[in-house]
């Protein structure tokens, strides 16, 4: 395998249109779950092939089989006409199959450069060659048009930036077949555009791309063909020109959705929370109020200080200046505990780092915030523990064999539902949802928005953070735009258009010469 920028992409060995990889009856069973029922599908050389489907439909499983991360139960994979065993990731990479996985699987403590060459450090990149490695990596990153430093530790980058590094890493390995599993979930628009440019360029160089996403507009923007998975079965494949949004959704969930963004307007009640000139790490001088019955949306780029602002409200971080008022009274929120006691709930941004106990059962994760309520003095009521967990599993349609399955065994979107679900039974007055629908399928999104309405109608208020403009735009009664730690604009429901809001969120970046938006 090569690792220099010059030899970035190998010349394609197949002319476009020929089949490069074929699945014949590919099947995967996990204990308790038939994740992929025999699937037949052929991928053409240098096409962009989108795969869509509900949470838990088997998309990531398919990718794991193709990249040798998991062994298949039965079936064949034909690579360039010959059966491939794909028993190890190494074998897949040797063939030229690479993937950017849904969850970043790189070493957070190593530098960006070290991650780029992980597993194939050339002897030239021995201890004395650190600098050469960084230089090499920087060259590749610049060449791809990503504006990122190669010498920093990976963990210091945002999740979106890490995802870009993962993509860059996948391109340096002589790739012929590259899979992206929900790559844009954590990307800002600018980053997503950079990624799309990269994808188109790779396609032009003859690489076959598999693109998994829950965002239909991306599928229509990028893909040549699209395949739909439902319950582990391939429902169909369409040329992108011959299908539309509604048809795909229908194929995915076997029913149609009239309206994803379910929105009810309630008359706002009393003010629940007020932030007065609040400052802290990552944000400055932010003032806003949240009233009962309203959704306050915070839009901005990732890293604009929205998460820092809400975690400070929630007592996770210290404020450096300003005041928090709860129901009209000034309060000190020194810990999460204080916040929860006041009546706040926070569903955090990163499900892996902040949201879930991955190696514990789904039920325990769901009940974690309410154990106090479902124990009488000393003991937990095991009946209540069961009913509470099962209720959330049913309400949010979390796909799991039982509540005793480990959270790590769920698909990405279903894990996300736990992060939200654990607060729904808590009875808080102010819910803070930080990127609540990342990786969640359309059907469930609609379900979650309906739950938001239910919370509002019970007199709760919601702070909704999203980097996905349509979501906050359609749902927020009040929309605040953040840029670089400052609240730069405020709009009412639909009082500004997308263009204006985007400009406000990006403004400074735009002025940078040569910067892409």
Contact residues: ligand ATP, CB under 6 A: 30, 33, 35, 53, 55-61, 102, 399, 409-414, 439, 441
For the beta carbon of residue 321, count every other beta carbon within 10 angstroms: 11
Question: Out of Mg ion, ligand ATP, another protein, none, which partner does residue 53 contact, by CB within 5 to 8 A per kind?
Answer: ligand ATP
| Sign, CA torsion 131/169/177/207 | negative
State yes or no: residue 336 binds another protein (CB under 8 A). yes
Q: Which is nearer to ligand ATP, 30 or 266 (CB)?
A: 30
For the beta carbon of residue 74, count every other beta carbon within 10 angstroms: 10
State yes or no: residue 53 binds Mg ion (CB under 5 A). no
Question: Out of ligand ATP, Mg ion, another protein, none, which partner does residue 495 contact, by CB within 5 to 8 A per kind?
Answer: none
> At its nearest, how many Å lie between another protein and the CB of residue 419?
9
Within 83-122, which residues bind another protein (CB under 8 A)?
none
Q: Which is nearer to ligand ATP, 290 or 366 (CB)?
A: 366
**Which residues on adjacent β-strands are paired with residue 479?**
297, 491
DSSP calls for 301-316: -TTSSHHHHHHHHTTS
State yes or no: residue 56 binds Mg ion (CB under 5 A). no
Tokens of 223: 């893909």
Cα separation, 280 vs 27, in Å, equals 51
Cα distances from 22 to residues 19, 26, 77, 105, in angstroms, run 7, 10, 6, 26
Residue from 368, 488, 496, 502 touching another protein (CB under 8 A): that is: 368
Within 199-238, which residues bind another protein (CB under 8 A)?
231-232
Q: Which is nearer to ligand ATP, 222 or 501 (CB)?
A: 222
Part in contact with Mg ion (CB under 5 A); list of ranges 112-120, 161-169, 410-418, 429-437: 410-418
Within 300-359, which residues bind Mg ion (CB under 5 A)?
none
Q: Which helix (H) or strand (E) holds 19?
A: strand 19-30
Evaluate whether 234 touches 57 at the Cβ level (below 8 Å): no
**Phi, psi for residue 309 in degrees, rounded to 5:** -60, -50
Within 155-184, which residues bind another protein (CB under 8 A)?
none
Cα separation, 134 vs 151, in Å, equals 6
Residues whose CB is less than 8 angstroms from the CB of residue 458 and which lie 6 or more positions away in sequence, other chains included: none
State yes or no: residue 415 binds another protein (CB under 8 A). no
Part in contact with another protein (CB under 8 A); list of ranges 52-60, 98-106, 191-199, 265-273: 52-60
Cα distances from 306 to residues 356, 407, 427, in angstroms, run 21, 27, 24
Question: Out of another protein, ligand ATP, Mg ion, none, which partner does residue 17 contact, by CB within 5 to 8 A per kind?
Answer: none
**Phi, psi for residue 251 in degrees, rounded to 5:** -65, -35
State yes or no: residue 436 binds another protein (CB under 8 A). no
- Helix, strand or coil, per DSSP, at residue 83: strand
Part in contact with another protein (CB under 8 A); list of ranges 28-36, 105-113, 259-267, 302-310: 28-36
Binding mask 100-139 for Mg ion (x = CB under 5 A): --x-------------------------------------
State yes or no: residue 378 binds another protein (CB under 8 A). yes
**What's the CA angle centered on 162, arms 160 and 167, to 5 degrees?**
95
Binding site for another protein (CB under 8 A): 30-35, 56-58, 231-232, 314, 316, 336-337, 340, 346, 348, 353-361, 364, 367-369, 371-372, 375, 378-380, 382, 399-402, 404-406, 422
């Amino acid at each position: 395998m090569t690792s220099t920028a010059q030899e970035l992409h190998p010349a394609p060995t197949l002319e476009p249109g020929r089949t490069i990889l074929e699945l014949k009856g590919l099947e995967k069973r996990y204990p308790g779950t038939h994740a992929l029922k025999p699937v037949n599908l052929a991928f053409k050389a240098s096409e962009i092939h989108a795969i869509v489907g509900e949470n838990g439909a088997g998309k990531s499983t398919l990718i794991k089989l193709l990249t040798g991360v998991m062994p298949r139960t039965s079936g064949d994979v034909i690579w360039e006409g010959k059966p491939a065993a794909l028993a190890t990731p190494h074998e897949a990479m040797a063939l030229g199959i690479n993937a950017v996985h849904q969850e970043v699987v790189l070493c957070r403590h190593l530098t960006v450069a070290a991650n780029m060459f992980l597993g194939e450090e050339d002897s030239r990149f021995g201890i004395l060659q650190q600098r050469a490695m960084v230089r090499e990596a920087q060259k590749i990153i610049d060449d791809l048009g990503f504006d990122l430093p190669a010498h920093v530790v990976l963990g210091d980058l945002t999740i979106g930036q890490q995802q870009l590094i993962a993509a860059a890493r996948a391109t340096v390995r002589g790739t012929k077949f590259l899979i992206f599993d929900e790559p844009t979930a954590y990307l800002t628009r600018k980053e997503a555009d950079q990624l799309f440019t990269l994808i188109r360029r790779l396609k032009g160089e003859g690489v076959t791309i598999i693109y998994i996403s829950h965002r239909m507009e991306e599928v229509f923007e990028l893909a040549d063909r699209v395949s739909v998975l439902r319950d582990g079965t391939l429902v169909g494949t369409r040329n992108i020109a011959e299908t539309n949004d509604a048809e795909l959704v229908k194929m995915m969930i076997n029913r149609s959705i009239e309206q994803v963004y379910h929105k009810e307007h309630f008359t706002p009640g009393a003010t629940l929370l007020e932030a007065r000139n609040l400052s802290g790490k990552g944000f400055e001088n932010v003032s806003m109020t949240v009233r009962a019955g309203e959704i306050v949306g915070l839009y901005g780029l990732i890293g604009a200080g929205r998460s820092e602002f809400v975690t400070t409200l929630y007592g996770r971080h210290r404020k450096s200046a300003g005041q928090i008022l709860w129901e009209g009274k000034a309060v000190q929120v020194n810990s999460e505990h204080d916040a929860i006691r006041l009546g706040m709930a926070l569903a955090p941004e990163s499900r892996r780092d902040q949201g879930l106990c991955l190696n514990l059962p789904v039920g325990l994760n769901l009940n974690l915030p309410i154990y106090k309520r479902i124990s009488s003095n000393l003991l937990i009521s095991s009946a209540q523990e069961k009913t509470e967990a099962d209720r959330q599993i049913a309400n949010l349609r979390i796909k799991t064999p039982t509540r005793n399955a480990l959270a790590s065994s769920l698909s990405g979107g279903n894990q996300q539902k736990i992060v939200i679900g654990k607060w729904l039974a808590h009875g808080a007055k102010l819910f803070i949802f930080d990127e609540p629908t990342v990786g969640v399928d359309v059907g469930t999104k609609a379900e979650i928005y309906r739950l938001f309405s239910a919370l509002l109608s019970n007199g709760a208020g919601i702070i909704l953070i999203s980097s996905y403009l349509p979501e906050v735009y359609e749902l927020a009664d009040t929309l605040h735009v953040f840029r670089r730690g400052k609240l730069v604009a405020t709009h009412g429901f639909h009082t500004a258009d997308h263009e204006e809001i985007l400009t406000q969120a990006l403004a400074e970046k735009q002025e940078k010469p040569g910067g892409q938006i």
